[in-house]
């Protein structure tokens, strides 16, 4: 079996272009207006803007109808720790989604997972990368609770991935555009800190400018994004420009950390160089973290990963693959050196 590209999707109308680009599975959240900030479904998907989720259950139904024609599954996101109120809402959404045809759900909350497994015995549960699944023993526990796939935090080594696959649980890896370089599941900054006071975010991400952004060619879009993030602060709390001398006595260590954050938040991180080892370990599913992008850029991100996969399949020599994949990244993202944007630095896996 070959690798499968898992893509985010925020509009049903973008399904066919994404499938044509190479997507073989979708993941998505749903918007519901009631209590949308703290307890609504936007709060159940770790994304706070309308444009990052499907509009409603009707659009989910439309998406499922489209993808059935292409035999491409859709995975519903309910990937947060739940309050009692969120639990009730998540179960209500899950029931309606299962009736529509959803057969797989990404979950973080263990209580929600157990209840889903009890109510919907045939459902496939996928463990979110934020679930703090750090050992093979944890994977065995999750399997006993009905989980069929683990979205792995980046610290899992190849031999651990092989052991997980041997347990009969499939693995999915964050492969492209995951910007956080720290252990998934251990950061309380996820992901939204409210509207940034900087007006450029409305140009980069705002719903009113979707048509304008869609008209921008992808290379120009990437260049503009890099320029804007270079001169304006990031909305992510962990990427603010703190003053190191006010944070720690060890100024050099803190400065190094903050420099890494500043250098990486505007460029899309990539796991291409880790692909040969991941495939040998048995990992099949490559997740593209593109749900926050406008539809056209979602397609471009999937195309890039497909080109990497095709390059790997057609290049038997690993050294040559590393060389050519880096060239491809550099050409696509307009950088001279891609090593510092590698999501799985050499030696870490």
Q: Which of 187-191, 222-226, 249-253, 256-260 has the highest mean pLDDT?
A: 222-226
* pLDDT given for residue 232 in this prediction: 55
pLDDT at 222 over 70: no
Q: What is the pTM of this model?
A: 0.79
* pLDDT given for residue 13 in this prediction: 96
Q: What is the phi/psi pair of residue 68, to 5°?
A: -60, -35
Mean pLDDT of the chain: 78
d(C-alpha 249, C-alpha 277), whole Å: 40
Nearest Cα to 40, choosing from 105, 93, 96, 97? 93
Nearest Cα to 203, choosing from 240, 11, 211, 50? 211
* pLDDT given for residue 207 in this prediction: 46
d(C-alpha 117, C-alpha 323), whole Å: 45
Tens digit of pLDDT for each residue in 47-74?
655 568 898 899 999 999 999 999 999 9
pLDDT at 203 over 50: no
Tens digit of pLDDT for each residue in 70-112?
999 999 999 888 888 888 989 999 999 999 999 999 999 999 9
Reported confidence tier of residue 255, pLDDT bands at 50, 70, 90 = low
Q: What is the phi/psi pair of residue 254, to 5°?
A: -70, -40
DSSP sequence for 249-286:
S-HHHHHHHHHHHHHHTTS--B-GGGHHHHHHHT--EE
Going along the chain, which residue ranges are E strands? 4-8, 23-28, 74-78, 104-107, 124-127, 147-152, 170-176, 285-288
* pLDDT given for residue 335 in this prediction: 79
* pLDDT given for residue 91 in this prediction: 94
Q: Which of 28-32, 149-153, 246-250, 283-287 has the highest mean pLDDT?
A: 283-287
d(C-alpha 328, C-alpha 309), whole Å: 12
Kind and range of the H or E element at 21? Answer: helix 15-21
Place of tokens 């809402």: 89
Tens digit of pLDDT for each residue in 122-167?
899 999 988 878 788 888 999 998 999 999 877 778 888 999 999 8
d(C-alpha 304, C-alpha 307), whole Å: 5
Place of tokens 């309606």: 96
pLDDT at 270 over 60: yes
Question: Pick the residue with more confidence: 198 or 182?
Answer: 182
Q: What is the average pLDDT across 257-266? A: 47
d(C-alpha 202, C-alpha 326), whole Å: 32
Query: Please, what is the end-to-end C-alpha distance for the chain in angstroms?
Result: 22
> For residue 330, how many C-alpha atoms fall within 13 Å in the half-sphere facing its CB?
12
Residue 248, number of CB atoms within 10 A of its CB: 12
Neighbouring residues of 177: CB distance < 8 A, sequence distance ≥ 6: 268, 269, 270, 288, 289, 290, 301
d(C-alpha 130, C-alpha 178), whole Å: 13
* pLDDT given for residue 291 in this prediction: 87
Neighbouring residues of 210: CB distance < 8 A, sequence distance ≥ 6: 51, 294
Tens digit of pLDDT for each residue in 276-329?
999 999 999 999 999 888 888 899 999 999 999 999 999 999 999 999 999 999
Strands 74-78 and 104-107: parallel
* pLDDT given for residue 155 in this prediction: 72
Neighbouring residues of 214: CB distance < 8 A, sequence distance ≥ 6: 294, 295, 296
Domains of the chain (ranges plus CATH)?
4-185+268-292 (3.20.20.70)
């Amino acid at each position: 079996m070959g690798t499968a590209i898992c893509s985010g999707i925020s509009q049903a109308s973008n399904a066919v272009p994404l499938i044509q680009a190479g997507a073989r599975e979708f993941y998505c959240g749903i918007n519901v207006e009631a209590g949308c900030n703290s307890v609504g479904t936007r709060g159940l998907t770790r994304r706070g803007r309308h444009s990052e989720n499907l509009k409603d259950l009707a659009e989910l139904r439309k998406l499922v109808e489209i993808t059935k024609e292409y035999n491409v599954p859709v995975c519903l996101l309910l990937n947060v720790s739940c309050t009692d109120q969120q639990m009730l809402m998540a179960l209500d959404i899950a029931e309606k989604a299962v009736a529509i045809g959803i057969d797989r759900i990404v979950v973080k909350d263990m209580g929600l997972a157990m209840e889903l497994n009890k109510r919907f015995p045939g459902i496939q549960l996928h463990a979110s990368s934020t679930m703090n699944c750090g050992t093979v023993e944890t994977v065995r526990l999750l399997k006993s609770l009905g989980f069929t796939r683990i979205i792995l935090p980046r610290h899992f080594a190849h031999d651990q991935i092989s052991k997980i696959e041997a347990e009969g649980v499939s693995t999915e890896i964050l492969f492209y555009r995951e910007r956080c370089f720290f252990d998934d599941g251990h950061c309380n900054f996820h992901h939204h800190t409210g509207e940034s006071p900087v007006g450029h975010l409305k140009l980069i991400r705002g719903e009113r400018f979707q048509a304008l952004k869609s008209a921008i060619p992808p290379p120009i879009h990437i260049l503009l994004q890099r320029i804007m993030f270079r001169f304006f602060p990031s909305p992510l709390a962990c990427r603010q420009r703190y003053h190191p001398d006010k944070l720690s006595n060890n100024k050099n260590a803190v400065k190094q950390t903050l420099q890494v954050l500043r250098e990486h938040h505007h460029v899309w991180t990539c796991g291409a160089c880790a692909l040969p080892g991941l495939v040998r370990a048995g990992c099949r599913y490559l997740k593209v973290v593109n749900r926050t992008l406008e539809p056209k850029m979602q397609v471009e991100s999937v195309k890039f990963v497909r080109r990497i996969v095709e390059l790997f399949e057609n290049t038997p020599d690993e050294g040559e693959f590393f060389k050519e994949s880096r060239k491809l990244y550099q050409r696509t993202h307009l950088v001279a050196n891609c090593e510092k944007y590698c999501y799985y630095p050499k030696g870490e896996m």
